[in-house]
Chains A and B, each alone.
Chain A
């Protein structure tokens, strides 16, 4: 009987090394997956931040320009229509030709390609609008915007890879080189204020996010005003009042299912019900708010219910004990005590609504909106939709704006989530 010599402990010991190796391997897989997730996060954020910050800046060429009333065609400085309709392009063009010493047609064409003539004209117009009488006829220094392709090129100069030389011919590259070598009055890079103070534009150097930002704020306002009361009322009903019957079960099943319905389906609902049936105006924060309310309600209801559940029954019983009615118990005790949790859930739901895009696509919020909306029934776009719009634009300058808008959106979201975390840690009571 040679088999008997191999005892169990020997068998175990024989395999032990192998088993420990398997153990190590298994742990390594776990660490690897976590590292993969975290690396993705880091990669995503470095990509977003590096691309986004680039979009906040722009290259300007300070030029001295004589505001010649004759070229502009302004005879009366008090007439606002004349100032609005004046010919700023010719003025700027003339000065640009002088700067680049362009005389022949071809040289002029090259020079025009380097400076954003219209956008610079708008700047002068804006100056004149405030104080035409004093400025007209004087020589002022204006930060002329370079063309968006030049800006693209300059930002990528010195990085690895081609900075986009294919956009320019040799003469233009030579001119850019001259501009860069200038000691004084050369190209400067500074914060693009237009990006934060204006709406969308067909020209990327003029485009800003203010209209989308305001649209997002209005959208959030509508969503909050509807989803917060309705969500809390539903949660209170289900936790405090609902009898255990088929109807209550039906409500609960519906809420759970709605939480997992793809957001684009809510867009179809909005399109068919709010736009086609009720005839609400397209592309407005009002309709967007309705749709997003329906979408965020499950989130708010589920977290509000958790918050109400966390209020200890002893508090309710004490209130009943001194003669409070059911509604008094709910309003005086349960809701105030559950409020921090409900607020946290609402903020998280709103953050979700802020970043949501698919349902808004369906109700026409992916639109070109240059004006800044002033009410919830004005056509407007929202930050994610603005990003999408700029992303779809083939112009290189817009892709950069999209990255910058992403950064703004992310900062907005981080602030909202930070608020939620703060509310949870500071206001929530543990029992």
Chain B
């Protein structure tokens, strides 16, 4: 029986048991002389009976689905001839995949008789597993349903037990956030530790040579590849810096103008329009940066070069994948982020400070510069830190508009590469979890995670501390 059919059956069964439990409680109540003799409302008795069978059956189903494949694989390995059982894990995986394909009916494969035999046995096991699962689940559905139904008694505290289950469900859902963080930390950490076994930590953090692609061929000179991440860090910093140069002044001045000068009508129009910038998918920005902005910058600089620059500093070498294009576009994307966060902190500055400043005869701009900005500074710094962490972690724009050549340069017109770009180039396509190349992506991920987490942590603390001052 297919999984979805089984799932639907469980749901149907639970519904039936709900109805039965509910009606049994009503019958019992009528015998006693009315619903007031029940401890809980009838629906709670129904729900209680349904939960009795629903939870075990669904957990059983989930566990079975999670583990039956790996168990069948283990059994299939047992079927293999002796010499093949001792193959390396990769070759074994390949072999199992072949068996899988034969079992799945891919006819183009030339299957040897013994392989065909194993595949047939795997198919047999699958069917057996599915039959057993259906039998166990359906029988436990009936048995547990009957048990739940028999538990329906007038004095039974059904509401309390249903509410307790509900509470546990809520708690379980809310701990998912913790599990996610733990999952991220572990998945990144484990692979990184394996990476640092191959490549020393100091080489990774302090090396200036990044060329992971050389690791493919064993007979090559420098076959271990070079995993010095400094060029990636400088590249990331360069692009983030360009983005910040655009986003911080623009975003901050926008926030100041909107909160201090603009009337409500302008605010109501301009603010949502700017927010649109934040809602555009990053892949669109990447496309825009690579195909519109980069050529524009190239043309503009070539024009400039012909007229003035060639006399003073010689010919410019503008790369088609310059850091400038990606940085500019990323800056535009971050403007609404900076402006709405700073808007919040500027609005949180109490009116009394403004009034005091006006009372002393200062102009509006003087009030902003000398009173409001200093008062809102911690919050603004927090907002900027959050924006920086977003710029560092931004992926699609740089993947699309920036090259993959790791260069140690501060020239925004050259092509650089970033941490996120390297992570995607290392992980796109097929990969094994053993090569230093793949593991390097996780090490980069660890660095990225630690840095952004640190930035966010400080930013949130600064913002929070500052908010408490005036509230």
Contact = CB atoms under 8 A, between A and B. Distances in A.
Interface of A: 12, 19-20, 22-23, 25-27, 29-34, 36-38, 40-41, 44, 47-48, 229-230, 233-234, 236-238, 241-242, 250-251, 254-258, 260-269, 271-273, 276, 278-279, 294, 297-298, 301, 325-327, 351, 354-358, 361-362, 366, 384, 387-388, 391, 399, 402-403, 406, 409-410, 413, 417
B308 interface: no
Given A229-B173, A234-B173, A351-B279, 20 more contacts: A23-B364, A33-B257, A38-B274, A40-B335, A41-B273, A48-B288, A236-B170, A238-B174, A241-B167, A241-B170, A251-B178, A255-B177, A262-B394, A264-B420, A325-B163, A355-B281, A366-B428, A388-B286, A406-B287, A413-B281
B452 interface: yes
B448 interface: yes
B357 to A, nearest CB: 13
Contact of B424 (A301, A354, A358, A391): A358
Contacts of B178: 250-251, 254
Given A38-B270, A261-B453, A294-B180, A19 B282 contact: no
A37 B251 CA distance: 9
Nearest to A279: B69
B317 to A, nearest CB: 23
A268 B277 contact: no
5 contacts: A33-B257, A34-B258, A264-B423, A273-B187, A354-B281
B291 A269 contact: no
B169 A41 contact: no
A34 B392 contact: no
Given A37-B274, A48-B284, A230 B173 contact: yes
Contacts of B174: 233-234, 237-238, 242, 251
Contacts of A230: 173, 176
Contacts of B441: 268
B460 interface: yes
A419 to B, nearest CB: 13
Chain A at the B interface: mostly helix, strand, loop or mixed? helix
Contacts of A261: 184, 393, 449, 452-453, 456
Contacts of A41: 273-274, 276-277
A225 B424 CA distance: 28
A41 B275 CA distance: 10
B415 interface: no
B261 A30 contact: yes
Contacts of B258: 34
B230 interface: no
A258 B280 CA distance: 21
A273 B176 CA distance: 14
A251 B175 contact: yes
Nearest to A38: B273
A271 to B, nearest CB: 7
Chain B at the A interface: mostly helix, strand, loop or mixed? helix
B66 A36 contact: no
Among A20, A25, A251, A272, chain B packs the most CB atoms within 10 A around the CB of A272
A258 B256 CA distance: 29
Contacts of A19: 363, 366
Contacts of B400: 388, 391
Interface string B249-270: 1111110111001000000001
A269 B190 CA distance: 12
Among A34, A267, A271, chain B packs the most CB atoms within 10 A around the CB of A34
B394 A36 contact: no
Interface in B159-186: 159, 162-163, 166-167, 169-171, 173-178, 180-181, 183-184
B184 A268 contact: yes
Contacts of B424: 264, 358, 361-362
A351 B390 CA distance: 19
A231 to B, nearest CB: 8
A355 B283 contact: yes
A366 B457 CA distance: 33
Contacts of A278: 66
A26 B256 CA distance: 10
A236 B170 CA distance: 8
A34 B389 contact: no
Contacts of B427: 267, 271, 361-362
B170 A237 contact: yes
A138 to B, nearest CB: 38
Contacts of B103: none
Among B69, B180, B290, chain A packs the most CB atoms within 10 A around the CB of B180
A23 B364 CA distance: 7
Contacts of B449: 261-262, 265
B69 A269 contact: no
Contact of B181 (A36, A47, A257, A409): A257
A214 B374 CA distance: 51
B42 interface: no
A222 to B, nearest CB: 14
Interface string B408-448: 00000000000010011001100001000000011001001
A258 B177 contact: yes
B99 interface: no
Contacts of A25: 365
Contacts of B286: 388, 391
B283 A30 contact: no
Contact of A37 (B173, B250, B279, B284): B250
B70 interface: yes
Contact of B257 (A31, A236, A241, A325): A31
A262 B392 contact: yes
Contacts of A409: 281, 284
A265 B254 contact: no
B332 interface: yes
Q: Report the 6 A-B pairs with minimum CB-CB distance, sorted nearest first.
A: A262-B393, A355-B281, A30-B257, A272-B187, A26-B365, A358-B395
Nearest to A298: B177
Contacts of B243: none
Nearest to B169: A233
A279 B93 CA distance: 12
Given A19-B363, A30-B261, A384-B281, A403 B456 contact: no
B170 A272 contact: no
A41 B167 CA distance: 46
A402 B292 CA distance: 13
A13 to B, nearest CB: 12
B406 interface: no
Contacts of A362: 423-424, 427
B368 interface: yes
Contact of B170 (A234, A250, A260): A234
A237 to B, nearest CB: 4
A336 to B, nearest CB: 16
A361 B428 contact: yes
A256 B332 contact: no
Given A30-B254, A273-B183, A357 B452 contact: no
A23 B396 contact: no
A276 B433 contact: yes
A31 B256 CA distance: 10
B191 interface: yes
A33 B173 contact: no
A163 B169 CA distance: 62
